[in-house]
A and B are shown apart, each in its own frame.
Chain A
Amino acid sequence: MSRPVSSSDEHVQRAITQAWPGALDAETFDALFRECGADVHAYVVSLLGDRTAAEDVMALAFERLYRSRARLDQRRGTPRAWLFAIARNAALDELRRRRRQPRYELEDELTADRDCGEGLEHVERRATVRDALAALPLREREVVLLKFHGQLSNSELARALGISESNAGTRLHRALARLHEGCLQAERQEEIA
Chain B
Amino acid sequence: MKVIPFPGGSSAPPDDAWLAELEAALNGDGEGVVADSWRELRRDVRALAQPMDPEFERQLRARIAEHGARSAHKQSHRRSGWLRPPSRLGAAAGIAAVGAVIVAVVIVSHWRVAMGPIEALPHQPAVSPNAGRAESFDHLGASAPRGAIRAAKGAAAESGASASAGVASNAPASSGVTTPPGRVQQLAASITLAATPNDVQETADRVSRLAVSDGGFVQSSHVNVGQGTGEANLDLSLPSAKLGVALVSLGQLAPVRAESQSLQDITNTYDAARQRLADVTAERQALLHALARASTEGQIDSLRERLSQNRGAIARAKSAFQTVSQHASTAEVEVTVLGDAHAGSEGLTLHRGFHDAVRVLVVTLVILLIAAAILVPLTLLIVALAIAARALRRYRCERVLDAR
The interface of chain A, by Cβ under 8 A from chain B, is 1, 25-27, 29-30, 33, 37-39, 41-43, 45-46, 51, 55, 58-59, 62, 66, 89, 92-93, 95-96, 101-102, 104-106, 108-109, 113, 121, 124-126, 128-130, 133, 137-139, 142, 144-145, 147-149, 151, 153-154, 162, 169-170, 172-173, 176-181, 183-184, 186-187, 190
Contacts and interface: CB of A to CB of B under 8 A. Distances in A.
B377 interface: no
Which range holds the interface residue count of chain B?
35 or more
A129 B64 contact: no
Interface in B331-385: none
Interface in B1-35: 1-4, 6, 10-11, 13-14, 18-19, 22-23, 26
Contact of A104 (B6, B48, B72, B398): B48
A58 B59 CA distance: 12
Contacts of A37: 52, 57, 60
A172 B26 CA distance: 13
B309 interface: no
Nearest to B397: A92
Contacts of B52: 37-38, 41-42
Given A33-B60, A62-B60, A95-B400, A176 B48 contact: no
Contact of A30 (B47, B50, B64, B394): B64
B402 A139 contact: yes
A101 B401 CA distance: 11
A92 B398 CA distance: 7
B47 A109 contact: yes
A177 B47 contact: no
B1 A190 contact: yes
Given A124-B1, A162-B394, A106 B48 contact: yes
A149 B50 contact: no
A46 B46 CA distance: 9
Nearest to A122: B44
B67 interface: yes
Contacts of A46: 45, 48-49
A130 B71 CA distance: 42
Contact of B50 (A45, A129, A145): A45
A149 B46 contact: yes
Interface string B42-76: 10111111111100110011011101110110000
A117 to B, nearest CB: 15
B1 A108 contact: no
Given A37-B52, A41-B52, A55-B56, A126 B47 contact: yes
Q: Which 3 A-B pairs have the closest CB atoms?
A: A26-B68, A42-B49, A177-B10
A101 B404 contact: yes
Contacts of B4: 179-180, 183
B68 A27 contact: yes
Contacts of B65: 26, 30
A26 B49 contact: no
A124 B394 CA distance: 38
Contact of A62 (B18, B64, B399): B64
A105 B50 CA distance: 7
Given A33-B61, A92-B400, A113-B47, 7 more contacts: A29-B64, A45-B49, A45-B50, A89-B397, A180-B4, A181-B10, A183-B4
A33 B64 contact: yes
